[in-house]
């Protein structure tokens, strides 16, 4: 189990790095999907089966499909890749790399103090318990998220609404 955990964690990190450094948008998204799937495996190993399933269904299966869908519609060509290549010159990486290094050092320090995650006390979280928590302790958050979604839905409907004009092509007047 330990080996599987570190392997999938490693895959998640590597795929995320690759997702950032790819010049091609679709390839980058594919690596992001791999990273999300690896994260789902991590959740699964940690006993959060429900979270793992939702990670795959919602993030990998729905949100990323929409991303790819949008990028497919744009059909970015070679020019964009060139542009990205110019954008991601080595010099750009210096500051983010430094910041990340600090974070990584902090993380390693904390892990060293605590001696890593306890591998023994993994508790299986059943879907029913997640539901009970969501609609018990976290009910306020759930309701607020519902409000937000409703607002988004109404907004999308408003933007997408258009007067429907159905004119048969034989009835249309010829434009002179």
Applying CB under 8 A, the residues found at the interface with other proteins are: 26-27, 30, 33, 49-50, 52-54, 56-57, 60-62, 65-66, 68-69, 72-73, 75, 124, 126-128
Smallest distance from other proteins to CB 36, Å: 11
- Minimal distance in Å, beta carbon 33 to other proteins? 7
Closer CB to other proteins, 124 or 171, in the complex: 124
Q: How many other C-beta atoms are found inside a 10 Å radius of the C-beta of residue 5?
A: 17
Name the residue nearer to other proteins (CB basis): 63 or 107: 63
Residue with tokens 């429900």: 50
Q: How far is the CB of 95 from other proteins (least distance, A)?
A: 32
Using an 8 Å Cβ cutoff, are 26 and 71 in contact? yes
Contacts 24+ apart (CB under 8 A), 48-57: 48/125, 49/124, 49/125, 49/126, 49/127, 50/125, 50/126, 50/127, 50/130, 51/125, 51/130
In terms of CB distance, is 27 or 85 closer to other proteins?
27
């Amino acid at each position: 189990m330990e080996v599987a955990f570190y392997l999938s964690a490693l895959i998640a990190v590597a795929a995320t790095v690759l997702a950032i450094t790819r010049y091609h948008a679709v390839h980058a998204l594919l690596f992001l999907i791999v990273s999300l799937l690896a994260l789902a495996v991590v959740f699964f190993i940690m006993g959060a089966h429900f979270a793992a399933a939702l990670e795959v269904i919602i993030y990998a299966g729905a949100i990323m499909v929409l991303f790819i869908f949008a990028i497919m519609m744009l059909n970015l060509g070679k020019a964009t890749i060139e542009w990205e290549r110019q954008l991601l010159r080595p010099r750009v990486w210096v500051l983010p790399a430094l910041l990340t290094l600090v974070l990584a050092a902090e993380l390693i320090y904390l892990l060293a103090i605590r001696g890593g995650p306890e591998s023994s006390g993994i508790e299986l979280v059943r879907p029913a318990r997640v539901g009970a928590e969501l609609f018990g302790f976290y009910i306020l958050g759930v309701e607020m998220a519902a409000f937000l979604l409703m607002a988004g839905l109404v907004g999308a409907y408003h933007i997408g609404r258009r007067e429907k004009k159905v004119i048969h092509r034989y009835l249309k007047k010829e434009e002179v």
